[in-house]
Structure 1
Amino acid sequence: MNHRITVCTSCRRKGTETRPGFELIERLRNALSAAKETIPETFDVSGVACMAGCDQPCTVAYHSTSKASYLFGDIDPKTDVDDLIAFAKQYAYLGDGWCSSVDRPGKLRKSTLARIPAADSALEEQKARAS
């Protein structure tokens, strides 16, 4: 199964011109490469111009086919990479991607902006209600 981590590249901390997304992408790719023996699935890391988390930069999304997606905010490339890698390991094992906030590592317990159900599970629930 293919997993993706998407990082906002336009996020800026208020009062600065620094865009931490580019640094975060590089750090995540390096950390995932170093941890590849302990993560059972592959994760592609890419950037996107905006994920509408401007008030809580830098934003990071985890998504995969048939799994819930997550959007995290207020991520710092210097201090939060370990938590992001720990979540990648956890997310890889979650069949539907669903987990409680208390189960998420470190800062990610409090920095979740959204958890979005997988599209196919939402369709299944809609079909079940219709029958």
Structure 2
Amino acid sequence: MAQDMLFICILCRASHTEEVQASLSEGQSLFDRLQAGLETSDEKHHIRLQPVRCMGACDRACTAAFIAPNKLTFMLSQLSPIDSVPDLLEFSCQYIATSDGKVPYKDRPATIKQKIHAVLPPLPSQS
């Protein structure tokens, strides 16, 4: 069965300073906090958190992408490694619950509404 995925760029370094562990990039901190949140969530068996080394949006760090077969892809940027975690976890549940990734705008958490970098259509089905 195909699985919904949440990609997080672990190399991202935000231009502003937040209180995160000095030895970690902000992207790695975001990944670690999401991983801890998913471990205590019922959704941990449904979304796969995947670290990536670069998503090509270095000037808009921290970046993430929700992706799954036959669903919209949501690319997010300028995420806080601390403040965005609850909203990303909430959106993970919403994204998983849809068959096409179309979470109604009015239902999306604030971080998702504010930090969308791009929404990409699903790949066309090969017939």
* TM-score tier (shorter): 0.7 to 0.9
2:38 alignment counterpart: 32
Secondary structure at the aligned position of 1:62 is classed as strand
Q: Runs ≥4 in structure 1, deviation > 2 angstroms?
A: 14-18, 99-103
**Structure 2 alignment gaps of length 5 or more:** none
Match of 1:96 among 78, 100, 118: 100
Q: 1:59 aligns with which of 57, 60, 63?
A: 63
Matches within 5 A, 1:8-47: 8-14=9-15, 19-36=25-42, 39=43, 42-47=46-51
Paired residues in the alignment total 121
TM-score normalised by length of structure 1? 0.81
Deviation readout 1:63-83 (Å, 9 max, x if unpaired): 111111111111112111100
8 Å Cα contact 1:27-1:81 kept in structure 2:
yes
SS of aligned partner of 2:65:
strand
Q: Which structure would you say has the larger Rg?
A: 1
TM-score (norm 2): 0.83
Cα distance in 2, alignment partners of residues 14 and 23 from structure 1? 15
The percentage of counterpart residues that share the same residue type is: 27
Distance 1:89 1:111 in 2: 18
What RMSD, in angstroms, separates the aligned Cα atoms of the two structures?
A: 2.3
Displacement after TM superposition at 1:104 (Å):
1.5
User: Alpha-carbon deviations, 1:101-131, whole Å to 9, x = none?
Assistant: 333112110110011111036x78xxxxxxx
